[in-house]
Amino acid sequence: MKINDLVAGVVLFALAVLILVYAQTLPPMPGQRYGAAAFPTVVALGLGGFSLMLAGQGWRERRPDTRWIEFSAWAHERHTRGNFVIALVLIAVYVLLSERIGFIPLSIAILVFLFLRQGVPLRRGVTIAVATTLAIQLAFSDVLRVPLPRGLLTEILW
């Protein structure tokens, strides 16, 4: 799918504004010079700046015969559309079940399912899913100090 740069830039700029506005509602962290809003604000400012550049480029390069949105051949393939729908469903499943089941088991299950769907051999898929999940868990818990849902592993996790 090809989206005109002007359209993409405007949509991304609107997203940047929403992120920036929401970030200002996040509470400050006691004893810190920066709070929960710091990272989303930086992301929103970067996204806003680059989206304006993208929109400007789209404006300069516009032609009267150019479509705003064009679908590529792959967007018409049944398997690809199925993958898109499955990804959205799995995101919803994670949101609904993550507190109950926990990040680690749910992430491994989702990744293994997606790998198998793409034809990755089971052993390789499980290995990559476990390694990736543990890396994300460590990054969030130790580096970022953001606890991910523990769910079934509440009594086991460090």
Does residue 38 sit in the same domain as residue 83?
Answer: no
Q: How far apart are CA 40 and CA 16, in angstroms?
A: 9
Does residue 29 sit in the same domain as residue 5?
Answer: yes
Among 12-16, 33-37, 41-45, the minimum mean pLDDT is found in 33-37
Q: Which among 149, 82, 143, 140 has a CA at the least distance from the CA of 114?
A: 82
Does residue 84 sit in the same domain as residue 42?
Answer: no
Does residue 42 sit in the same domain as residue 79?
Answer: no
Is pLDDT above 90 for 120? yes
Specify the pLDDT at position 70.
75
Higher pLDDT pick, 75 / 23: 23
Specify the pLDDT at position 158.
58
Compute the chain's Rg from CA coordinates: 20
Is pLDDT above 70 for 144? yes
Residue ending a domain, among 18, 40, 70, is 70
Specify the pLDDT at position 5.
86
pLDDT, tens digit, 9 for 90 and up, residues 86-102: 999 999 999 999 999 99
Does residue 40 sit in the same domain as residue 94?
Answer: no
Is pLDDT above 90 for 74? no
Residue ending a domain, among 43, 70, 97, is 70
Does residue 15 sit in the same domain as residue 61?
Answer: yes
* In contact, 55 and 5? CB cutoff 8 Å: yes
Is pLDDT above 70 for 157? no
Specify the pLDDT at position 148.
86
Does residue 1 sit in the same domain as residue 40?
Answer: yes
Does residue 93 sit in the same domain as residue 131?
Answer: yes
Does residue 79 sit in the same domain as residue 26?
Answer: no
Does residue 83 sit in the same domain as residue 146?
Answer: yes
Q: How far apart are CA 149 and CA 104, in angstroms?
A: 8
Mean pLDDT over all residues of the chain?
89
For 13, the domain range is 1-70
Q: Which among 30, 32, 52, 48 has a CA at the least distance from the CA of 40?
A: 48
For 5, 12, 16, 17, 32, the CA distances from 50, given in Å and listed in that order, are: 11, 9, 10, 13, 29
Does residue 77 sit in the same domain as residue 118?
Answer: yes
Does residue 52 sit in the same domain as residue 113?
Answer: no
β-bridge partners, 3? 69
What's the structural domain count of the chain?
Answer: 2
